[in-house]
Amino acid sequence: MNHPHLSDRMPDVARGGAGWTAAETAHLESCPECGHEWQLIRAVADSGGAAEPLDLDRIAAGVIAATIGPDGATVPIPIHRRHWLRYSLVGLAAAAALVVVLRLTSEPGHEPGSGSDQIAIGILPELDQLTAAELNGVLTEYDDASALDQPLGEIPRLGELTDDELGELLSEVGG
Amino acid sequence: MLSTDAELVEGWQHGDQAAASALVHRHAPALARYIRSRGVASADIEDFVQEVFIKAFRGLGDWRGEHEGSMRGWLFRIAANHLKDAFRRSGRVREVDLNDDDRIDPTDPQTALEARETAKMLAERLDLLSPMQHEVFRLRVEDGLAYREIAVALETTAGAARVHYHNAVQRLLEVLE
């Protein structure tokens, strides 16, 4: 493929959605490789046959009738989508709880392990890409609650959080 | 100025039936061509298209309309899954319309014969591609989808779709030589 730009445009031109410039036409006639490719694309595009005649108004009416509720409103989000939203919120809450941006104290004579000690948590993985089990595994690694100003307390299994428990966790994280 | 897919979806979600109808009018013809090319009988095309849109409209919460072109790709993805389910239920690998002649001009038998032979030859060559190359190539050339739309339809990236397309072209040119 010597001319990717030409190659990319061939399907659109073959379907009649675009045209060749004079220079492009001349090139297709003189370049064997591009010419063969153009013949192939044109043949495949032409093999599709005529467009299907459709009664678009009938299709649209049927779709609208099937997806409109008794009160005229659109059908609400399916149940499986609500579960996805819940897990997303749980993941975000866990991320908020973990991403405690701390600063290292730079005071002279600072003793490690003192009550005012703060730990810089390094770059955490993108928590929203972790599954609930993986998030739980990350959370269990932070079992040294004394290193934090406010202990997080017992971390429940994320997948078992109810909406009320989630609300409590969000409140706790929010401080 | 024509409304974008995102604007039409928002309109429909607020109860604007004209917006819903506009979406159907905009994308149904391309869906019908795709479904037809994948072996659904002509008599079943309209019902099939309608079922795809019903699934799509019921799952609009799953559509990420962050960029234009994704609606068509998303519809094609739903159609592909619906095709698999339909063929699985019918117990067939691919539903073949034995009356393929309705796509060829019956008043010109010689051209009809040549067209049928060309289509047969092309179908055999396309079968030599990997499944992903096959699908990307057909979506690009037969169905006219842009790379970003193919990416949504096949749950890949536009860049990967472009690579698959060009690899498919090279493979086809090799076997045709």
Question: What is the number of CB-based contacts under 8 A between chain A and chain B?
Answer: 116
Nearest CA in chain A to B34: A48
- Which residue is associated with the tokens 């994280």? A173
Other beta carbons within 10 angstroms of residue A116's beta carbon come to 9
Does residue B50 contact residue A59 with C-beta atoms inside 8 Å?
A: yes
- The alpha carbon of B86 is separated from its chain's Cα centroid by a whole number of angstroms, namely 15
Other beta carbons within 10 angstroms of residue A23's beta carbon come to 8
Nearest CA in chain B to A48: B142
Return d(Cα B177, Cα B1) in angstroms, integer: 47
Phi-psi category of B155—alpha, beta or left, where left has phi over 0 and alpha has psi -120 to 50?
left
Other beta carbons within 10 angstroms of residue B136's beta carbon come to 28
Alpha helices in B38-157 (DSSP H): 45-58, 70-90, 109-126, 131-141, 147-154
For CA atoms B151, B157, B158, B160, give the dihedral sign: negative
Interface contact flag, A40 B169, Cβ < 8 Å:
yes
What pLDDT is attached to residue B86? Answer: 86
What pLDDT is attached to residue A159? Answer: 65
What pLDDT is attached to residue A45? Answer: 87
For CA atoms B11, B155, A16, B99, give the dihedral sign: negative
Interface contact flag, A63 B144, Cβ < 8 Å:
no
Q: Give the Å distances, CA to CA, from B115 to B16, B30, B33, B106, B162.
A: 44, 22, 18, 11, 28
CB-CB neighbors (< 8 A) of B119 in chain A: 47
Give the three-state DSSP class for A74.
Answer: strand
CA angle A96, A101, A104 (to 5 degrees): 160
| Spans in chain A with pLDDT lower than 50 | 1, 76-83, 104, 110, 113, 115-125, 143-153, 175
Query: Is residue B131 within 8 angstroms of chain A, CB to CB?
Result: no
- Buried-exposed string A139-169: b where 16+ CB fall within 10 A, e elsewhere: beebeeeeebeeebeebbebeebeeeebeeb
Return d(Cα A7, Cα A91) in angstroms, integer: 44
Which of B67, B76, B64 is CA-nearest to residue B27?
B76
What pLDDT is attached to residue B98? Answer: 37
For CA atoms B14, B17, B22, B27, give the dihedral sign: positive
Query: Is residue B159 within 8 angstroms of chain A, CB to CB?
Result: no
Tokens of B91: 């117990």
Tally the C-alpha atoms within 13 A of residue B97's C-alpha that lie toward its C-beta.
Answer: 16
Q: Tell me the mean pLDDT in the region B73-102.
A: 72
- ipTM of the assembly? 0.81
Interface contact flag, A63 B103, Cβ < 8 Å:
no
Tokens of B29: 């013809």
CB-CB neighbors (< 8 A) of B114 in chain A: none
Q: Which amino acid is residue B72, in one-letter code?
A: R
Which of A13, A42, A52 to mutate against chain B (most B CBs within 10 Å)?
A52
B24-77 residue pLDDT tens: 999 999 999 999 988 898 899 999 999 999 999 998 877 766 555 689 999 999
CA distance B92 to chain A (A): 22
What predicted TM-score, i.e. pTM, was given to this entire model? Answer: 0.64
What pLDDT is attached to residue A169? Answer: 67
Interface contact flag, A72 B54, Cβ < 8 Å:
no
Which of B42, B118, B136 is CA-nearest to residue B80?
B136
Of A17, A57, A81, the CB nearest to B144: A17
CB-CB neighbors (< 8 A) of B33 in chain A: 48, 51-52
